[in-house]
Amino acid sequence: MAEKTMIEAVRDAMYEEMKRDDRIIVMGEDVGEGGVFRATEGLLKEFGPERCMDTPLAEAAIVGVAIGASLNGILPIAEIQFADFIHPAFDQIVSEAARLHYRSNGTWSCPITIRTPYGAGVHGGPYHSQSIEAFYAHVPGLKVICVATPYEAKGLLKSAIRDPNPVLFLEHKKAYRLMRQEVPDEDYTIPIGVAEVKREGTDLTLVTYGMMTHHSLKAAEAVQQEGGLSVEVIDLRSVSPWDKERVLESVKKTGKALIVYEDNITGGFGAEVAATIAQDAFEYLDGPVTRVASPDVPISPYSGVLEEYILPNPEKIAAAIKKLAAY
């Protein structure tokens, strides 16, 4: 077992899976050179140009070719260089990949994995900072994963590659080299759709995912040190499917629910979590279901000051925890 960053864990997962199954290919813009974040570094040298293929700057074509390849026995990993660039492929993902199994009455499946870095906090500006999970979590037939740590990145990416369904695998770019964590050398997977309680607590349930998991854990620690509040932090890890049972179990225990996500607040995935809690755990609640998210502005400003102003951070989350706990 060695300590890895998230980007190293992602690279290891692809390398090990390509070694395990020669049907797996990687395709995308500049993947032969290692990609913008070096996620595919070394794959071209190890597996050759037939299994690590550079593509044109054409996201609809990248996903469309991946779909066609999957129908012919290939298991593609399609990299979209930034999540902000995925929108030209929306129709291929939503109308083709996600619907193929249903439209063919179960005759065909579409085992593609679409990897892409998402999220703000790295001064990427409006074209390199978007959170896209809510668009795609809305689509039946498509699985959407948002990882927070190196251990989860490797285990869940392996599960995504082995899944017979199309999977959108979102890697928060700020988390790529944020931390090192022990990652097993041996093969392992993490089931898609199972949340993890990152921190146990009794006073309040905090539901989050991706980069906000790190901010939420810092906030939970701060409010405990400051005032003794006990916050249970749940990392969803997958937003489609998402672990309703574990969230509801926690809310029924604590009586209060705070949902934290980076995307702008209106129509963000946290709204779905909030609605489910309000519907299925109403009689257990001892306060309003509350959200912390970015305001409804185009994410994200180039200015570091403005970016910090709009994004959730540990201080904003801690303030929301204290306000809800005092309700």
Mean pLDDT for 54-59 is 97
| Torsion 291-297-298-300 (CA) sign | negative
Written out in words, the top-level CATH class of the domain with range 196-325 is alpha beta
Cβ contact 131:262 at 8 Å = yes
Mean pLDDT for 7-27 is 98
Q: Tell me which of 87, 128, 172, 214 is the catalytic residue.
A: 128
Q: 182-237 pLDDT, tens per residue?
A: 999 999 999 999 999 999 999 999 999 999 999 999 999 999 999 999 999 999 99
Q: What is the average pLDDT score of the chain?
A: 97
Mean pLDDT for 39-43 is 97
pLDDT of residue 105 exceeding 90, the answer is yes
What is the separation, in whole angstroms, between the first and last Cα of the chain? Answer: 45
Active site residue 128: yes
Rounded Cα–Cα distance for residues 34 and 181 (Å): 22
Tokens of 67: 């779909």
85 secondary structure, DSSP code: G
CB atoms within 10 A of CB 37: 19
CA distances from 320 to 52, 107, 303, 323, 324 (A): 46, 49, 25, 5, 6
Strands 196-199 vs 231-235: parallel, antiparallel or unpaired: antiparallel
Tell me if 2-183 shares its fold with 196-325.
Answer: yes
pTM comes to 0.97
Question: Which CATH number applies to 2-183: 3.40.50.970, 3.90.79.10, 3.40.50.2300, 1.10.10.10?
Answer: 3.40.50.970
Hey, where are the domains in the chain? Answer: 2-183, 196-325
Cβ contact 167:160 at 8 Å = yes
Q: How confident is the model at residue 12 (pLDDT cuts 50, 70, 90)?
A: very high
